[in-house]
Amino acid sequence: MAEVQRLALLPADVLETSGLAQIEGRLWTLNDSGDDAAIYQLSSDGRSIAKTLYLAGARNIDWESLAVDAKALYIADCGNNRGRRATLQLYRVALDVLSAPDGSRVEYDVSNFRYGHRLEVSASDSHNFDCEAITAVEGELWLFSKNRGDGQTELYRLDKQAREQALYPFRSYPVNGLITAADYDPVSRRLVLLGYSRERLFGHSFIWIIPLFNSAAGVQKLAPDWSRAQRYKLSTYAQWEAISWDGPQRLVLSAERSPLSDAQLGEIRLDVQGVPLAPVTDPDDAAFW
């Protein structure tokens, strides 16, 4: 069991939060389909919006995830609930652009990708071509699919420089649920996957914490070491949609508003081995950022 402690109720501007990225100690988020093409920097306590930036001319079809590396913030327009989308988008915003004043319209690059092994695009409630999770891993971008068909996840490696590309799965993993977010911690070299079970009633949310290893001798090709992956059910039910490492021993996650829960930020504390700890009982004892 992983205990989740609530940190803050999210402001009304981001009730559909679907991605988190931590940059210079501050969290950025976005909303999924239906919102403006905008990214939001949260205040230090997470209860208000400190800054909103707009991607001029972009369209939020179904923005579902954020990832960050040393140079850029990446926005994945990869949601595909009904399976109708053949082409998906990746937006790249240079980190220095994020210093623009509140309300600015900022520049970006955009590229397209598709699933190369998908032979037919048609609507379905049970398919394996949805995605809500991307993360930067040692110079690469990894995408994890949200498999509505079989409850597994595929890992796809995305070329950050390509303008057009077809993706093919590197490997499948038995996550036993629907993955909604991913993030990588370069210090501990651990990956976290966030998701929820497939049951429509009495379901639950979970995280997987997974160390990485070199998948080929003498080749720096990292891959999840599934033999050492650990799954933890989350103590607090909510529609958890995004997750971010804050150092090797803390995870911050966000939930969008749903009939059963508020839009909120939460945290999970880990020990040095990556095992969830009991929550801090007095919020004043816990630093936020």
Q: Which amino acid belongs to residue 11?
A: P
| Backbone torsions φ then ψ of 219, nearest 5 degrees | -120, 125
Number of domains, the chain: 1
| 94-129: b (≥16 Cβ within 10 Å) or e | eeeebeeeeeeebebeebebbbeeeeebeeeeebbb
Least confident residue range of 77-86, 118-127, 140-149: 118-127
Q: What does the pLDDT average to over 174-180?
A: 97
Stronger pLDDT, 286 or 137, i.e. the higher one: 137
Find the domain containing 48 and state its range: 5-285
For 227, residues 6+ apart whose C-beta sits below 8 A from its C-beta are none
In three state form, how does the secondary structure of 254-285 look? EEECECCECCEEEEEEECCCCCECCCCCCHHH
User: Per-residue pLDDT for 236 more than 90?
Assistant: no
pLDDT for the residue 203: 82
Q: Which two tokens stand for residue 250?
A: 């803390």
Per-residue pLDDT at 283? 47
**One-letter amino acid identity for 180?**
T
Q: Is the pLDDT of residue 285 over 50?
A: no
Q: Tokens 């976290």 map to which residue?
A: 192
pLDDT of residue 286: 47
Residues in the chain: 289
Residue-averaged pLDDT of the chain: 93
Q: What is the CATH number of the domain that holds 55?
A: 2.120.10
Pairs from 283-288 (Cβ < 8 Å, separation ≥ 24): 283/5, 286/5, 288/7, 288/8, 288/44, 288/45, 288/46
Of the pLDDT bands very low, low, confident and very high (cuts 50, 70, 90), residue 116 is: very high
* 3-class SS of residue 24: coil
How far apart are the C-alpha atoms of 42 and 7, rounded to whole Å?
A: 13
pLDDT-above-90 percentage for the chain: 84
Determine the average pLDDT of the residues in 256-283: 86
- Whether residue 73 contacts residue 95, with contact meaning beta carbons closer than 8 Å, is answered with yes
Cα→Cα distances 76→62, 215, 255, Å: 8, 26, 18
pLDDT value at 8 more than 70? yes
Segment 99-107 shows an average pLDDT of 98
pLDDT tens for each residue of 127-175: 999 999 999 999 899 999 999 999 999 999 999 989 999 999 999 999 9
Give the Cα separation of 104 and 125 in Å (integer). Answer: 38
Question: What proportion of the chain, given as a percentage, has pLDDT over 70?
Answer: 93
What's 161's DSSP letter? S
pLDDT in the model for residue 284: 47
